[in-house]
């Protein structure tokens, strides 16, 4: 029997499922590991290691609630711009945790897939990744997609090259190339597009992630950094998704009625039966070490359909002991979390994002440096996001 807290989360998910509004595919931009560690005075790699516990918790819970596909943005094509020592450490973390977690994932029926270019990884990580894919190929409980050495622009360019080569060989007529044909040449061709995209850490951008596939995905942002992200936050995102009206460019069944309410006998589908978004109770934000749950987003830069939406809450307090650190280049640690965004490290071109005041989250995390300036190693023009 699950503990009471988990049992309540499962009941909440079942209510969403009963509404007929359960997402099939959830994609997550795992962000904030480095900043999470730096705020505590720890090395950045300690944040990546802490993030591994979030991955384990979310992957297990996603399987328990019956998600068909979970995609995690693990390492982007732009992440190679980070300092070489950090990249070496991240590759070591990847190897260790594939070796440690692969048997459990396989027993639990998780099929591992990789999007991106594994050929661009160093030899040992590449070998372990391909072994994980082959070992779990026949599993069908849930598909776990790892975006490794991945960039959406790279993926689209790759699809264009494949189509151009076929046209040059006379296999297809260039005039016949349409959206469906291009989609069929993406690495996600046999997967449903993400219904819901989640980005922790208080950033409000997509960062070159599944640009084609998320054209009509619902977006959910939270100031919680990835190391503090837990199943309760995933449930909050799913509940928010369930109460949104998805029109896909048209008019939903509830169009023209106050609040988009469904008419009697209307089948749950595009139009939500309840409020457009959920507001957790004020006391729900009392996470370990954090007391500002239920605080409205002060940045005012959220999606147009969610002004002032209540955001998620924090986790471990500042005084907690740091996760075990990993020496750069060591073959130990956790998954290579992208800190969510391409170009998070040194060498990022200046001016890619607009500086704004940071969101101070629960968990006792202190704000950014005065003025919202760039932290060491952070992205220029983006308040030192990583």
Could you count the other beta carbons within 10 Å of the beta carbon of residue 380? 17
Structure tokens at 253: 């069944």
Token digits for 375?
């932290």
Helices (H) and strands (E) in the chain, counts: 8, 6
Q: What is the DSSP letter of 173?
A: -
* Residue 11: how many other CB atoms lie within 10 Å: 10
Residues whose CB falls within 8 Å of the CB of residue 214, separated by 6 or more in sequence, listed in order: 27, 193, 194, 197, 206
Q: Catalytic residue positions?
A: 31, 79
Whole-angstrom distance, CA of residue 373 vs CA of residue 355: 7
Which DSSP state fits 98? H
Phi, psi (5° rounding) for residue 139?
-75, 150
Residue 69 in tokens: 């596909």
24 three-class SS? coil
How large is the C-alpha radius of gyration of the chain? Answer: 21
The length of the chain is: 386
């Amino acid at each position: 029997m699950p503990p009471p807290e988990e049992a309540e989360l499962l009941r909440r998910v079942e209510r969403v499922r009963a509404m007929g509004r359960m997402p099939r595919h959830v994609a997550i931009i795992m962000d904030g590991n480095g900043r999470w560690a730096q705020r505590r005075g720890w090395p950045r790699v300690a944040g990546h290691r802490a993030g591994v516990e979030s991955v384990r918790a979310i992957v297990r819970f996603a399987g328990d609630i019956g998600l068909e596909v979970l995609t995690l943005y693990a390492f982007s094509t732009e992440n190679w711009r980070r300092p070489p020592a950090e990249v070496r450490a991240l590759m070591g973390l990847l190897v260790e945790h594939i070796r440690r977690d692969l048997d459990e994932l396989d027993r639990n029926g998780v099929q591992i897939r990789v999007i991106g270019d594994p050929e661009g990884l160093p030899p040992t990580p590449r070998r372990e990744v391909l072994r994980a894919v082959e070992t779990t190929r026949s599993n069908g409980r849930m598909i776990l997609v790892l975006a490794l050495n991945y960039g959406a622009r790279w993926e689209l360019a790759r699809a264009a090259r494949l189509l151009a080569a076929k046209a040059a060989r006379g296999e297809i007529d260039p005039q016949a190339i349409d959206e469906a044909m291009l989609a069929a040449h993406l690495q996600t061709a046999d997967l449903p597009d993400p219904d819901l995209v989640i980005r922790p850490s208080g950033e409000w951008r997509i960062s070159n992630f599944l640009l084609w596939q998320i054209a009509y995905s619902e977006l959910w942002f939270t100031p919680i950094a990835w190391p503090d992200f837990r199943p309760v936050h995933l449930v909050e995102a799913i509940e928010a998704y369930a109460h949104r009206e998805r029109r896909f460019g048209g008019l939903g069944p509830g169009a023209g009625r106050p609040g988009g309410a469904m008419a009697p006998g209307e089948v749950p589908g595009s139009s939500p039966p309840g409020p457009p978004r959920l507001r957790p109770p004020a006391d729900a934000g009392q996470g370990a070490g954090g007391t500002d749950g239920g605080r409205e987003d002060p940045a005012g830069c959220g999606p147009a359909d969610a002004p002032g939406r209540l955001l998620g809450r924090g986790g471990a307090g500042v005084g907690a002991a740091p996760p075990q650190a990993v020496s750069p280049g060591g073959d130990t640690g956790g998954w290579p979390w992208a800190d969510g965004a391409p170009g998070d490290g040194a060498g990022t071109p200046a001016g890619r994002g607009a500086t704004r005041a940071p969101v101070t989250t629960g968990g006792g995390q202190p704000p950014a440096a005065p003025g919202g300036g760039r932290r060491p190693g952070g992205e220029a023009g983006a308040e030192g996001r990583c």
